[in-house]
């Protein structure tokens, strides 16, 4: 049994609006008749661009967790807090739910996204045939949780605004927040550059003889 793909049928899906169109091999770039976007059977240099963004995000992941995210100045003194020190602070003070949310959204999720996207790129590059459905679901899961990755940035921005308005202390965003924001943006761009259709390009069922017997 052989699966007929859109590529085999000479069709191409628009990455902007999703419309299926007949692929025409011409010197000029084909355009979607609905929205006018450029049509490509596969995203150009998808794996190379995804790898480049992932490597940059992995490099910035270290300073994002080492450098302070928030710097506080008050009558009691000055303090700098990283993501992990904030998690520990919430945990010690009994804010277990908040500590778990911050740890998951700010440390665990970016790391898992880097690992998952690297796995998808590696398997697609090597033409792996195992579990294409699960790998496709993994890609859609990465896209879904990507919108929550900026939680830590929003928390710092909210605390800076509230505390400074009340004049209780002076809170400033630390250099770690720049690296963290860059990691989030780079991983989101990496998931956008990855073409999940590459997962299915190497999927070919070799059970033709069994189908003939059936």
| pLDDT (tens digit per residue) in 18-64 | 788 877 666 566 788 888 877 777 888 889 999 999 999 999 999 98
Task: Take residue 148 and report the two structure tokens written for it.
Answer: 């929550």
Residue ranges of domains in the chain, CATH in brackets: 1-41 (no CATH), 44-213 (1.20.140)
3-state helix, strand, coil in the chain (%, to 5): 55, 10, 30
For residue 31, give the DSSP letter.
B
The pLDDT of residue 130 is above 80: yes
pTM: 0.76
Q: What pLDDT does residue 59 have?
A: 95
- What is the number of H-type helices and E-type strands within the chain? 9, 5
Do 32 and 39 form a contact (C-beta atoms < 8 A)? yes
User: Is the model more confident about 12 or about 214?
Assistant: 12
Q: Once rounded to an integer, what is the mean pLDDT over residues 190-202?
A: 85
Question: 76 pLDDT band (50/70/90 cuts)?
Answer: low
pLDDT for the residue numbered 169: 57
pLDDT the model gives residue 40: 76
**171 vs 179, more confident:** 179
Using the predicted structure, report yes or no on whether residue 108 has a pLDDT greater than 90: no
CA nearest 64: which of 188, 184, 187? 184
Report the pLDDT value the prediction gives residue 171, as an integer from 0 to 100: 64
205, pLDDT greater than 60: no
């Amino acid at each position: 049994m052989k699966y007929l793909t859109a590529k085999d049928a000479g069709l191409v899906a628009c990455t902007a609006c999703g419309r299926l169109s007949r692929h025409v091999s011409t010197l000029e770039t084909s355009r979607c008749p609905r929205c006018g976007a450029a049509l490509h059977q596969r995203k150009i240099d998808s794996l190379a661009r995804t790898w480049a963004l992932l490597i940059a995000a992995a490099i910035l992941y270290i300073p994002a967790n080492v450098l302070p995210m928030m710097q506080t100045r008050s009558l009691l003194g000055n303090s700098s807090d990283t993501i992990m020190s904030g998690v520990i602070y919430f945990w010690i003070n009994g804010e277990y739910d908040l500590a778990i949310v911050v740890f998951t959204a700010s440390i665990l999720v970016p790391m898992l996204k880097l690992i998952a996207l690297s796995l998808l790129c590696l398997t697609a590059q090597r033409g792996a045939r195992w579990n294409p459905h699960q790998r496709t679901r993994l890609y859609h899961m990465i896209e879904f949780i990507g919108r929550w990755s900026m939680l830590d940035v929003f928390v710092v921005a909210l605390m800076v605004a509230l505390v400074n308005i009340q004049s209780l202390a002076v809170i400033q965003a630390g250099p770690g927040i720049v690296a963290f924001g860059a990691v989030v943006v780079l991983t989101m761009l990496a998931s956008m550059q990855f073409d999940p259709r590459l997962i299915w390009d190497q999927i070919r069922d070799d059970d033709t003889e069994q189908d003939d017997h059936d």
